[in-house]
């Protein structure tokens, strides 16, 4: 999955004493599908997924992954607050309100939890 960028020799265009540089960028984009990996540990993601399922009363077979958005699961702002409270209790942490309000996915929650747990050490 490499991206190659090549620069051609710049063309200098002089027009009444002004100089403009022009570059032609050519990118080679791979045809394979890119996969995004979560920075949080899988163990944390799994725990967050379970808490989200519990807070939203989802079925055990409901698939919740790192990329799952709370809104996709039918969560409103009150549900999100309850999810955050459940996560704080489970992981024994306190999330700043402005950071907690930005959480929209399981991955974001897991990454914030790990960040807060590192700060506690």
Please give the share of the chain, as a percent, with pLDDT higher than 70: 69
Question: How many angstroms from the chain centroid is the CA of residue 96?
Answer: 18
Alpha-helix runs per DSSP H in the chain: 42-55, 77-91, 97-100, 106-120
Active site (annotated) includes residue 61: no
The better pLDDT of the pair 24, 100 is held by 100
For the chain, list the domains and their CATH numbers. 42-120 (1.10.1200.10)
pLDDT in tens, 1-13: 555 555 555 555 5
* Predicted local distance difference test score (pLDDT) of residue 35: 47
Confidence band of 54 (pLDDT split at 50, 70, 90)? very high
What confidence tier does 22 reach under pLDDT thresholds 50, 70, 90?
Answer: low
Q: Residue 87 in 3-state DSSP?
A: helix
Please pick, among 46, 61, 76, 79, the residue that the annotation labels catalytic.
Answer: 76
């Amino acid at each position: 999955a490499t991206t190659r960028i090549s620069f051609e020799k710049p063309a200098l265009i002089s027009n009444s004493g002004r100089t403009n540089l022009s570059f032609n960028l050519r990118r080679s984009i791979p045809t394979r599908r890119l996969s995004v990996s979560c920075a949080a540990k899988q163990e944390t993601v799994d725990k967050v997924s379970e808490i989200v399922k519990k807070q939203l009363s989802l079925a055990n077979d409901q698939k919740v992954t790192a990329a799952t958005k709370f809104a996709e699961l039918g969560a409103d702002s009150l549900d999100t607050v309850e999810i955050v409270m459940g996560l704080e209790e489970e992981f024994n942490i306190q999330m700043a309100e402005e950071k907690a309000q930005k959480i929209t996915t399981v991955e974001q929650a897991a990454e914030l939890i790990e960040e807060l747990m590192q700060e506690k050490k």
